[in-house]
A and B are shown apart, each in its own frame.
Chain A
Amino acid sequence: MKSEESEDKQYVGFATLPNQVHRKSVKKGFDFTLMVAGESGLGKSTLVNSLFLTDLYKDRKLLNAEERINQTVEITKHTVDIEEKGVKLKLTIVDTPGFGDAVNNNECWKPITDYIDQQFEQYFRDESGLNRKNILDNRVHCCLYFIPPFGHGLRPVDVEFMKALHEKVNIVPLISKADCLTPNEVKKLKDRVRDEIEHFGIKVYQFPECDSDEEEEFKQMDKELKECTPFAVIGSNTVVEARGQRVRGRLYPWGIVEVENQSHCDFVKLRNMLIRSHMHDLKDVTCDVHYENYRAHCIQEMTSKLAQDNRTDSPLPILPLPTPDVETERLIKMKDEEVQNNHH
């Protein structure tokens, strides 16, 4: 009894913070921007619909070969609000139609890297601006890259794409349409892709290390997850009847593929990783690593440009705003002088 009382006296109460954060988050909701990239016909739209149980591509019209001959790589965005048990998620899917589809695909990733940089730049401006109440975070938190199951490993376009993007976004490579591979073939391909990723020095998204004080079960799951990459996925827009249940799957003359059956494919692992366990980490890495890299690089460029323009080194970078707001410029200059005066 006595120990309990003394414990009560010691208890400050901030242990409730996680709950408070939780409640605030539920009220505020989350946002997440997911990019999907890969050639046409690898099941990207189907997978996205399967992951988030949506029907985002309902009215899509497939381009025929004639229309595609002159197609360039586009960036399209679909936003959907998903609510589950009171928690709101604003999900933005960034699609890259046309990637890798042409005969000449030189630098076909440029529109994509440009897009990612633009979102960083937008955020940088907003973050450095004066009114930061409603900053929209459009930065890409994760890029699912679809590797065809038809090849023997990574193709030149896969290597070049991932190398162009691995320092700008979290890349999660996937083996798509895995239902055309036998279990042996899946293993061989995964081994091959992992080796080639290492060989080419591609930095794909790494799952963070488990805390040493985590439960054994969690550690085991985490280990299995890591050894399973790249995930071999299958998606489906249809519900079929298998083993007496209605499941998302694909009906073939030789059997039924169940998307959520872990012995059939890694869809569940991907979904768990992406949504249930690592969504927040993906956002953190985007903010703390990719964005910071961009920001540092940007500032460096700007300060070196300033030095070239023969202006004194300013500790506060002066943003070259597109439409210089006179009032803002004046305020910035004031701040600038203030800081300089404080130095002396």
Chain B
Amino acid sequence: FLKKKKTPCVGRDLFGYVGIEAVLDQMRRKTMKAGFEFNIMVVGQSGLGKSTLVNTLFKSKVSRKSCTPNYEEKISKTVHLQSVSHIIEEKGVKMKLTVIDTPGFGDQINNENCWEPIVKYVNEQYEKYLKEELNVNRKRRIPDTRVHCCVYFLPATGHWLRPIDVEFMRRLGKIVSIVPVIAKADTLTLEERLEFKQRIRQDLQANGIRVYPQKEYDEDAEDRILNDKIRENIPFAVVGTDKEHQVNGNKVLGRKTKWGIIEVENVAHCEFALLRDLLIRSHLQDLKDVTHNIHYETYRVKRLNESNANGLALSPLTLENGTLEKSDAESHL
């Protein structure tokens, strides 16, 4: 694939072609061999279509429900987290996808503090990674179990965020990238959908909740334009399914009702395709980068400061005046 470009020679320009481009190719080939890891958490009350949506996103049966034999649909009495990993492959690219489910969240009569097990889990993954990183003999590739993305399912009430939504997103928004979605959105007309989204965005702003893509992490103007467009549109109103139907001679993923077929991948019907593009096709790597460069670093700094305050030697790095000399963050895949 090496292209020979003819560069005009002006002044101190390079003579000929160096081939720096080729490094991109090498990187590509290496990463393809190594594969990617992606950890996605789904949070929301029972019955909002979390498993179906995840299966639809990755076009495979990757949800916990699909992998558990004799799965019984019962409301669990406590919030616990369960993760299921799969290796999926597409065009030679391998991805180890881990879906973390949170059954029991928001299902009880008293849901106070139901977000705590989730906060604990997210921090535990950061801690695991930190410990590995601080090891004297480190693994070449630290296994990454950190939550790269947390999809939060909002019921399509059409009104505002509920108190539980605010409580959850306020807390988790500080430590993980939250992508809120309006679940089972086929109960909202387009008008209702727009109004609902507007109110949600107002609510998010009023409560100081930052969801992905966060404005302050836009790297340049190009990013900002792209992300602004996304920010004007969130939360995405989604519908999920694994069933196919015939529409105009084509097989489409959809939900068949007495009044029509809701085509999941048709952007005129719902925003599933936009969510998929965001999570997988355009921003997957960015989600991982933000997790690693920002959320994880924040955790790391906090922990190292804590441990120094306690006199515990957690880090082999030198400390000056209680602050750390920040090492360059390795770019991890």
Chain A interface residues toward B at CB < 8 A? 39-42, 62-66, 68-69, 101-106, 108, 148-153, 155-157, 160, 177, 179-183, 250-258, 261, 263-264
Q: Which residues of B contact A102 (CB under 8 A)?
A: 163
Main secondary structure of the interface of A (DSSP, over half): loop
Contacting pair B203 A155 (CB below 8 A)? no
Asked if B146 CB lies within 8 Å of chain A CBs, one says: no
Given contacts A160-B109, A252-B260, contact A180 B186 (CB under 8 A): yes
Q: Which residues of A contact B162 (CB under 8 A)?
A: 40, 65, 68, 101
CA of A48 to CA of B201, assembled, Å: 29
Contacting pair A62 B160 (CB below 8 A)? yes
Chain B interface residues toward A at CB < 8 A? 45-49, 73, 75, 107-112, 114, 155-167, 183-184, 186-187, 189-190, 199, 202-203, 206-207, 255-263, 268-269
Contacting pair A155 B189 (CB below 8 A)? no
CA of A258 to CA of B112, assembled, Å: 40
Contacting pair A150 B155 (CB below 8 A)? yes
Q: Which residues of B contact A106 (CB under 8 A)?
A: 109-110
Q: Which residue of A lies closest to B247 (CB)?
A: A254
Q: Which residues of B contact A157 (CB under 8 A)?
A: 109
Given contacts A64-B160, A102-B163, A253-B190, 10 further A-B contacts (CB under 8 A): A103-B167, A105-B110, A153-B73, A177-B156, A179-B187, A252-B260, A254-B262, A255-B260, A256-B259, A257-B259
CA of A63 to CA of B255, assembled, Å: 33
CA of A252 to CA of B255, assembled, Å: 13
Of the residues A65, A152, A251, A258, contact of B47 by C-beta under 8 Å: A152
Given contacts A68-B162, A103-B167, contact A264 B259 (CB under 8 A): yes
Q: Which residues of A contact B160 (CB under 8 A)?
A: 62-65, 68
Given contacts A150-B45, A152-B46, A253-B268, contact A41 B202 (CB under 8 A): no
Of the residues A62, A160, A183, A251, contact of B159 by C-beta under 8 Å: A62
Q: Which residue of B lies closest to A67 (CB)?
A: B160
Q: Whole-angstrom distance from the CB of B71 to the nearest CB of chain A?
A: 11
Contacting pair A64 B206 (CB below 8 A)? yes
Q: Whole-angstrom distance from the CB of B48 to the nearest CB of chain A?
A: 6
Q: Which residues of B contact A257 (CB under 8 A)?
A: 259
Contacting pair A150 B184 (CB below 8 A)? yes
Contacting pair A177 B46 (CB below 8 A)? no
